[in-house]
A = this chain, B = another copy of it.
Amino acid sequence: MRASKPAIRGARIAAFAAVLSILTGAGFSGRGSSLPGKNEEPERPYAEIAESLRVEGLKSEGAFAFLERLTRLAPARLTGSPEFASAQELMRREMEGLGLKSWREPVRVEHWVRGKIQQAEIIGAGAAPQALRIAALGLSVPTPEAGITAPLIEIRSFEDLSAAGSRVRGAIVFYNHPMNPSSQDTFASYGEAAPYRTRGASEAAKLGAAAVLVRSLTLRRDGFPHTGMVDYDPDVPRIPAAAVATLDAEALSRRLRAEPGLRLRLHLDCRNLEPADSSNLVGQIEGTEKPGEIVLLGAHLDAWDLGTGAHDDGAGCAQCLEAVRLIRALGLKPKRTIRIVLYPNEEFGASAGRDYARAPRRSSERHVAAIESDRGGFLPLEFGLGSAETFERLKKWEPLLRPAGIRRVGPGGGGGDIGPLGGQGTALLAFIPDAQRYFDHHHSANDVLSAVHPRELELGAVVMAVMAVVIAEEGI
């Protein structure tokens, strides 16, 4: 905590000069510049502010402390659940502890319950049934109480499914489509494979399938089933859907080749209840000059119930809180409002982000920018900016982010929850950390605090704080 609490109002001109000197190569070292100011207020260049945020962050590792409390005190945060409400109350108290003004904005969310039974057994010739490590997909309907026992048909692609035609009727479709390991961009590989999880059930149901089993979306071969939402086509009967661990998917595939007549018994007692009442949790530092102009820091508080949602998206929540803690620790009082929004229901389609964007309250507000952190708490690499115009205007701040490890500010921003603000002229920024390890943990029992590194997490909070401070002071 720094003792001095200068206002940053006078910093602008000097900061621009500092940035210009940075861009012309004049020895930016991440340390505070001592350039003289051009107006009468106390001088505090952004480079110095950025450094102070980094120093305070890396010394205290506050983001990890927030995340530790969240994952310990509210490990289960499935949207619509009573546990989610407790988690939200915990976050409200954290905001209070930071001295933020906070409130809730009501929304409706999905209310799906995993139940107690998620079993799959291979029934083959001779030997006893062999259990597979599975997890129901979110929003999946249950099987009948006796389970579903049916022949198994392995499918590698939707083309395979079409080709299988009438063989699909009455069968359990086993989508064994691995994520492609050969790209450095794991999110691209995820995007390519995810439709088997989201649309696979309905595509199979169109051909009369009884249920689907989907290979987990991860690049690792391990025993963790990775859940995630299934997106049923409303015009097709809904059939049960579960994820199977990659190691078990590969064992199953081998066994099917040797024994094509295998059957599977699938038993799920998950349920879809009526949509539930929930809310977006909002907390803010009010702007000193333009309180109605807002820089939003967003993350989702809901998480899959198999782990503790440490990376997805406890990390994002912790970074939003920590960014604000850092700003307050430095005694900064930016012109515009810095607001945190923690959303429910992201894992079931990010409806709360849309609700937030169209809430009546928004009409008296102007969201200058929104930064979302929902890619895990890994090493910060980039800020992705939603539009070329935003890019032009924010690119100049890149040197302030470098000493905290940001390698690039470039096109490619947004995020599921902040996206709906884009239509209202808000600059959308995605905080983009390294993603080589993200899908090892994503949506599984492996998404726990021990998989998060305190410094990697903290650096993300630091760069979000730097970006928020600069935009809240300068606008875009």
Please tell me if the beta carbons of A436 and B408 are within 8 angstroms of each other in the complex.
no
Task: List the B residue with the shortest CB-CB distance to A457.
Answer: B436
A476 to chain B, nearest CB (A): 25
Q: Whole-angstrom distance between the alpha carbons of A459 and B453 in the complex?
A: 20
Please tell me if the beta carbons of B408 and A437 are within 8 angstroms of each other in the complex.
no
Q: Whole-angstrom distance between the alpha carbons of A456 and B435 in the complex?
A: 10
Option from B55, B455, B459 in Cβ contact (under 8 Å) with A219: B455
With a 10 A CB-CB cut-off, give which of A381, A436, A456 has the most chain B CB atoms.
Answer: A436
| Interface hits, A417-470 → B, CB 8 Å | 434, 436-437, 453, 455-456, 459
List the number of copies, as a whole number.
2
A209 to chain B, nearest CB (A): 31
In the complex with contacts A58-B184, A379-B436, A456-B436, A407-B404 CB distance below 8 A: no
Kindly state the interface size class of chain A when it binds its partner: 20 to 34
Option from B54, B55, B59, B455 in Cβ contact (under 8 Å) with A436: B455
Task: List the B residue with the shortest CB-CB distance to A456.
Answer: B436
| Interface hits, A74-125 → B, CB 8 Å | none
What 1/0 mask marks residues of chain A from 377 to 389 whose CB sits below 8 Å from any chain B CB?
0010100000000
- The residues of B that contact A61 with a CB separation of less than 8 Å are 181
Option from B54, B379, B407 in Cβ contact (under 8 Å) with A182: B54
A169 to chain B, nearest CB (A): 35
- The residues of B that contact A437 with a CB separation of less than 8 Å are 453, 455-456
Q: Whole-angstrom distance between the alpha carbons of A459 and B467 in the complex?
A: 30
- The residues of B that contact A456 with a CB separation of less than 8 Å are 436-437
A322 to chain B, nearest CB (A): 15
In the complex with contacts A219-B455, A408-B407, A434-B379 CB distance below 8 A: yes
In the complex with contacts A408-B407, A436-B379, A437-B453, A184-B459 CB distance below 8 A: yes
Please tell me if the beta carbons of A184 and B405 are within 8 angstroms of each other in the complex.
yes
Q: For the complex, is A349 an interface residue (Cβ under 8 Å from B)? A: no
Q: Whole-angstrom distance between the alpha carbons of A406 and B275 in the complex?
A: 46
Q: For the complex, is A4 an interface residue (Cβ under 8 Å from B)? A: no
With a 10 A CB-CB cut-off, give which of A59, A434, A437, A456 has the most chain B CB atoms.
Answer: A434
A186 to chain B, nearest CB (A): 8
Q: For the complex, is A403 an interface residue (Cβ under 8 Å from B)? A: yes
A467 to chain B, nearest CB (A): 16
Option from B30, B181, B403, B459 in Cβ contact (under 8 Å) with A58: B181
A250 to chain B, nearest CB (A): 15
Q: Whole-angstrom distance between the alpha carbons of A106 and B459 in the complex?
A: 46
- The residues of B that contact A459 with a CB separation of less than 8 Å are 184, 436
A464 to chain B, nearest CB (A): 15
- The residues of B that contact A219 with a CB separation of less than 8 Å are 455
- The residues of B that contact A379 with a CB separation of less than 8 Å are 379, 434, 436
Given contacts A184-B459, A436-B455, list 17 more A-B pairs with CB under 8 A: A54-B184, A55-B182, A58-B183, A58-B184, A61-B181, A181-B455, A184-B404, A219-B455, A379-B434, A379-B436, A381-B407, A407-B407, A436-B453, A436-B456, A436-B459, A437-B455, A437-B456
Give 28 pairs: A residue, B residue, CB < 8 Å, sorted on A.
A30-B184, A54-B182, A54-B184, A55-B182, A58-B181, A58-B182, A58-B183, A58-B184, A59-B181, A59-B182, A61-B181, A181-B455, A184-B403, A184-B404, A184-B405, A184-B459, A219-B455, A379-B379, A379-B436, A381-B407, A407-B407, A407-B408, A434-B434, A436-B453, A436-B455, A436-B456, A436-B459, A437-B453
